[in-house]
Amino acid sequence: MTEKLQSSGIKDWPEDDRPREKLFSKGAAALSNSELLAILLRTGAQGQSAIDLARKILDQFGTFRNMIQTDVRDWQTFKGLGPAKIAQIHAALEIGRRFREVEVRPGQRKISSARDVVEIVMPQMRDLKTEVFKVAYLNSNHRLIVIRNAAQGTVNQAMPIVREIIHDALQNFAAAIICVHNHPSANLSPSPEDKKFTGELCAAGKLMGVKVLDHIIIGDGAYFSFLDEGLMG
């Protein structure tokens, strides 16, 4: 009898206790983290249900956010997890990350401060493992036209090109721009290269009639603004 119980899966549970049925009857918000993860897993391994496997995964990583920062090697210790299940989990985590992104419609969002930009890009950038450099292009009323990637780099360096940023600004009829990049190390202090680049971009922008309003560095839930710190000259 004990052996039968140990090998039974979720399908043998009372219907009200099954994660999928519970989701349909009570809504996804009623499910625990392990129940949500079990729905993605669908099956466990011999001797453990999908719920048991989900609990082990959560015990290991703690939160869904921590899972985003892992790679395949971190998952190989779990019995019953193959490439397909790992891919499903990572896909779901990425969907969740993208869902947190603030929807931005051209010509509608007015940018009045560094915080306005941070609210848009923080969900996208706080967990990145490499530096990414973005540029927010604004019209003459400081309403957002578009935010685009300008460069993607290594763990501690992204190398945007000044002339390409100014060219994109002119192509998008932008009157002003705000630069943003992340520091995966969570050290928000601007590097000498950050300061040098900002100075060169401001000079090029002034020459071409594009105002560089700010350069923002994104960390883990915090940010550094060149403008707020009086470093925009």
Q: For residues 216 and 195, what is the distance between their CA atoms, to the nearest angstrom?
A: 11
- The label of the residue with tokens 């949500």 reads 36
- Whether residue 103 is predicted with pLDDT greater than 90 in this model: the reply is no
pLDDT per residue as tens digits for the range 38-83: 999 988 888 888 899 999 999 999 988 888 878 888 898 898 888 8
Q: Hey, is 179 helix, strand or coil?
A: strand
At residue 159, the pLDDT reads: 74
Summarize the confidence of residues 218-224 as an average pLDDT: 92
Domain range for residue 160? 114-225
At residue 107, the pLDDT reads: 52
At residue 6, the pLDDT reads: 40
> Whose CA is closest to 89, among 120, 114, 68?
68
Q: For residues 204 and 210, what is the distance between their CA atoms, to the nearest angstrom?
A: 8
Q: For residues 150 and 182, what is the distance between their CA atoms, to the nearest angstrom?
A: 13
- Half-sphere exposure of residue 142: CA atoms within 13 angstroms, side-chain side: 12
> Whose CA is closest to 121, among 174, 177, 179?
179
pLDDT per residue as tens digits for the range 1-46: 333 334 446 666 655 568 888 889 888 888 899 999 999 998 888 8
At residue 2, the pLDDT reads: 38
The number of residues in the chain equals: 233
- The pair of three-digit structure tokens given for residue 88, joined into one six-digit string: 């499903």
Q: How many CB atoms lie within 10 A of CB 92?
A: 16
Instruction: Indicate if 145 and 215 belong to the same structural domain.
Output: yes
CATH number at residue 88: 1.10.150
Instruction: Indicate if 167 and 129 belong to the same structural domain.
Output: yes
CATH number at residue 188: 3.40.140.10
Residue 57 one-letter amino acid: I
Indicate the pairing of strand 176-182 with strand 211-218. parallel
138-160 per-residue burial string, b: 16 or more CB within 10 A, e: under 16? bbeebebbebeebbeeeeeebeb
> Whose CA is closest to 130, among 151, 102, 112, 107?
151
- Whole-model pTM: value is 0.65
Summarize the confidence of residues 161-180 as an average pLDDT: 95
At residue 219, the pLDDT reads: 92
Q: For residues 151 and 40, what is the distance between their CA atoms, to the nearest angstrom?
A: 34
Domain endpoint, select from 65, 99, 133? 99
At residue 36, the pLDDT reads: 93
Instruction: Indicate if 77 and 153 belong to the same structural domain.
Output: no
Domain endpoint, select from 48, 71, 99? 99
At residue 7, the pLDDT reads: 40
* Residue 233 in domain: no
Instruction: Indicate if 203 and 119 belong to the same structural domain.
Output: yes
Instruction: Indicate if 215 and 145 belong to the same structural domain.
Output: yes
At residue 10, the pLDDT reads: 64
At residue 154, the pLDDT reads: 63
Name residue 224's beta-bridge partners: 217
- Helix, strand, coil percentages in the chain from 3-state DSSP, rounded to 5: 45, 15, 35
Instruction: Indicate if 195 and 164 belong to the same structural domain.
Output: yes
Instruction: Indicate if 6 and 95 belong to the same structural domain.
Output: yes
Give the total number of structural domains in the chain: 2
Summarize the confidence of residues 116-131 as an average pLDDT: 88
At residue 12, the pLDDT reads: 63
Instruction: Indicate if 77 and 166 belong to the same structural domain.
Output: no
Instruction: Indicate if 92 and 160 belong to the same structural domain.
Output: no
